[in-house]
A and B are shown apart, each in its own frame.
Chain A
Amino acid sequence: MKRRHFLGGSAMVGAGLMAGGLPRLANAQSKEITVTAFGGVWEEAVRTCFVAPFEAKTKAKANVSLGGPPQWLAQVEANQAKPPVDVLIMTPDLALSAAKADLVDTFTVDKLPNLAKIPQELTDSVMGKGTLFDYGVGGITFHKERVSNPPKSFAEFVDRVASGELVASVPSISYAVTPIMLIWAMAKALGGGVENVDPFFKAMEKMKDNLVYWGGPNDFFNHLSSGEADVGIYFDGRTWNHYDSGATWIDFINPEEGGSLNGVAVQKPKNADPLAWDYINEILDAQNQTKFADIMNYGVTNTDVVYSEKLKPRITPWQKTAFPPYEQIAEVRNEWVDRWNREIGR
């Protein structure tokens, strides 16, 4: 082979690789399933509370894939005949997208005996193609050394921030849950709802001089600890995690109107390994959920769960939250984001 032919061939191989032109490689089959989890303490809780009992009962192995719902949904969508994950952990809006795209199986008590112990509303909220097993409440978190008399409701929160008495940290539009935990929750509390979010945007206009925005949960904590903000809209479980980490100056209130319920859904992709049903049944088990709640500081959904003494005052029963109409919110979400960008811009 002449040198120039070899070099030319390499150029074409390079171009071929750019086009992804490599041979098909088959995925190996095995008696294992792949389940999903968020990183850190979440993953450790999943291994302890769900993976361990599943493996003990079935003698199968559950591999844990760390990441996030958009990643897993894209992977399942791209590999519908043989999904790379057998159990999905999803936010409700993405769970609804998966359900509408017919990517996931319907949950029934036949396949999941523990589903009988999950309130029907929580399963219906994702069209019966999954259910919520864990939830956080988006309420008012505050620095109790600086704010001795915190706002008890969204309305009071708006008034006191607008007057300049308090500086608040609220989620920016780049945070995925903002349309639910802030836009919808505050609009509803102030007399609006999915059909009418004007009260929310009017409130933001009034508060704008005394607001800072967080893009991720760590930003919020930094705002509070550094003194940039006194109060904010945040999750209960994350607040208690900070408290347990040593930030004992932090506290949480579920607003009188009810903070938004932000659930975590579990789903099974179509064509996933049938063993996934056994694993999901463990997720919905009362004993396992009790342990999970203890580690995570979040509410769980099995009606037989009895929270520990430490957890009882921290957990807001889901009935006392504002239950978001996830499906309707998903339909108008883009309009809200567009309006936010035009009127608030951050």
Chain B
Amino acid sequence: MKRDWINIALAAFVVLFFVFMLAPILIVVLVSFTSAGYVSFPIPGWSTKWFARIFEYQPFIDAMIVSIQIAIGATVLSCLIGIPASLYLARSRSAWANAVMTFLLSPLSMPMIVIGFASLFFLSWLGVGISFTALLITHTVVCLPYIVRTVAGVYAGIPRSYEEAAAILGANTLLTFWHVTLPLIRPGIMAGSLFSFLTSFDNLPISYFFGSADTNTLPVVMLSYLENQFDPTIAALSTLQLLLAVVALLIVDRVYGIDKMTVAG
């Protein structure tokens, strides 16, 4: 009997927890369909005009393209640098390996706004200035730890004997990597890439300092719009982003399987 009450209380807690987490999101979704010219709840009527407004306002489209380019670019660069670095550092016994690993992970423990401000002055001093390159470099800096952390974590848990067996059977370094190591670390790469993409796509504090007519990302334009305009376009844009994220997760689950990625954590 007592056990039943505990189960009921636990179920009620879980339901309340989900309501608490999802209700604000649900309100944003509902408000995005309002017919009113301003944000209010409950909504007076239904309309999809705020979704049309997203595509009418060119800076949203331009910024969305920049955001996607930067997020993909930073993720690819992070993989190109982070995967080999993680494979080396995860197995290295040298004294400095730990220090390099800590250094690569350090952006996780620093306020993004500090990284953004410092990077602005440092890259400007180097002559990179306010540019797509500067934005890509800085986003890669903050995305790199996600790849390094997940790949190194997965790789450290793989016995050396797998690669040794491949080598004994005649596979060279490249073949061993391609047929043995890569399939084993793939959950780490997928999980790290997903974190990396989302971290870059949603980033505001760093993008803010590198925003220009050509390099403004979606969060920067959304902030600037939100501060000076009061219509529900931002709610519609948020709904669209939410939809894209859900669709992306469904595709990843279908193609790869989210449960496989979670083992990387």
Q: Is the CB of A68 within 8 A of B173?
A: no
Tell which of B92, B103, B130 has the most Cβ of chain A within 10 Å. Answer: B130
Q: Is the CB of A3 within 8 A of B211?
A: no
Say if the beta carbon of A113 comes within 8 Å of chain B. no
Q: Is the CB of A18 within 8 A of B141?
A: yes
**Residues of chain A contacted by B211 (CB below 8 angstroms):** 65-67, 71
Q: Is the CB of B38 within 8 A of A40?
A: no
Please tell me which stretch of A23-31, A98-106, A331-339 contacts chain B, meaning at least 4 of its Cβ atoms lie within 8 angstroms of it: A23-31
What class of interface size applies to chain B in its complex with A? 35 or more
Per-position contact with A for B97-126: 1 when CB-CB < 8 Å, else 0? 100100110110000000001011111111
Q: In this complex, what residue of B is CB-closest to A11?
A: B85
Q: Is the CB of A241 within 8 A of B81?
A: no
Given contacts A11-B88, A225-B38, A241-B230, contact A39 B106 (CB under 8 A): no
Q: Is the CB of A247 within 8 A of B38?
A: yes
Say if the beta carbon of A63 comes within 8 Å of chain B. yes
Q: Is the CB of A14 within 8 A of B85?
A: yes
Q: Is the CB of B88 within 8 A of A75?
A: no
Q: Is the CB of A67 within 8 A of B216?
A: yes
Q: For the complex, what is the distance from the CA of A25 to the CA of B135, rounded to whole Å?
A: 13
Q: In this complex, what residue of B is CB-closest to A35?
A: B213
Please tell me which stretch of A215-223, A252-260, A266-274, A314-322 contacts chain B, meaning at least 4 of its Cβ atoms lie within 8 angstroms of it: A215-223
Q: Is the CB of B127 within 8 A of A14?
A: no
**Residues of chain B contacted by A241 (CB below 8 angstroms):** 230
Given contacts A43-B59, A65-B216, A66-B224, contact A24 B87 (CB under 8 A): no
Q: In this complex, what residue of A is CB-closest to B144?
A: A14
Q: In this complex, what residue of B is CB-closest to A67?
A: B211
Partner of A10 from B84, B97, B117, B227 at Cβ < 8 Å: B84
Say if the beta carbon of B128 comes within 8 Å of chain A. yes
**Residues of chain A contacted by B140 (CB below 8 angstroms):** 17
**Residues of chain A contacted by B127 (CB below 8 angstroms):** 24-26
Give me the interface of A with B, judged by CB distance under 8 Å: 2-4, 6-15, 17-18, 20, 22, 24-27, 34, 38-43, 63-68, 71, 74-75, 77-79, 82, 84-85, 216-218, 221-222, 225-226, 238, 241-242, 245-247
Q: Give 20 new A-B contacts, CB below 8 A, not counting A18-B103, A245-B230.
A: A2-B173, A7-B87, A10-B80, A14-B144, A17-B137, A17-B140, A18-B104, A25-B127, A25-B133, A27-B129, A40-B229, A41-B228, A67-B224, A78-B120, A217-B230, A225-B38, A242-B230, A245-B231, A246-B37, A247-B38
A-B contact pairs, 25 of them (CB 8 A): A11-B84, A11-B89, A11-B97, A14-B82, A15-B104, A20-B119, A20-B123, A20-B137, A22-B137, A39-B222, A39-B224, A40-B57, A43-B59, A66-B59, A66-B221, A67-B208, A68-B208, A71-B208, A75-B212, A79-B130, A226-B40, A226-B41, A245-B37, A245-B38, A246-B36
Nearest 5 Cβ contacts at the A-B interface: A40-B229, A39-B224, A10-B84, A7-B88, A24-B127
